[in-house]
């Protein structure tokens, strides 16, 4: 008999990690019917990337790419603001 795959929210994962450090990992694994690999994967991602690391499918590589895109977006907004300012000054 196969168990139905359960998904946990970011908040649930945070709570489970916290409980694991307070009550012991073995107890938590049994309480939530988790595999050790799952628990330690969540814990590692939380330690490496913070809460955002617990979002579904998030990896350090994804986080790095998101940060690169945010930086590029910020730069493009600055360039656009500069061009708009130039345009307004030329119209005067």
Domain ranges of the chain: 9-58, 59-92
List the beta strands (DSSP E) in 2-89: none
Contacts 24+ apart (CB under 8 A), 52-55: 54/10, 54/13, 54/14, 55/10
Tokens matching residue 12: 């649930």
Q: Would you say residue 57 has pLDDT above 80? A: no
Tokens matching residue 47: 């330690």
- Full-model pTM: 0.61
Nearest to 81 by CA among 92, 71, 73: 73
Q: Would you say residue 89 has pLDDT above 90? A: no
Dihedral angle of Cα 31, 35, 37, 38, to the nearest 10 degrees = -70
Give the Cα separation of 56 and 82 in Å (integer). Answer: 38
- pLDDT of the residue at 61: 82
Contact (CB, 8 A) for 28 and 17: no
- pLDDT of the residue at 50: 84
């Amino acid at each position: 008999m196969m168990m139905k795959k359960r998904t946990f929210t970011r908040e649930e994962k945070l709570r489970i990690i916290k409980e694991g450090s307070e009550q012991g990992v073995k107890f938590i694994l049994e309480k939530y019917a988790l595999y050790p690999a799952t628990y330690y994967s969540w814990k590692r991602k939380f330690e490496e990337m913070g809460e955002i690391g617990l979002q579904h499918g998030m990896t350090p590589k994804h986080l790095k790419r998101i940060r690169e895109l945010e930086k590029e977006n910020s730069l493009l907004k600055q360039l656009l603001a500069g061009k708009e300012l130039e345009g307004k000054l030329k119209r005067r």
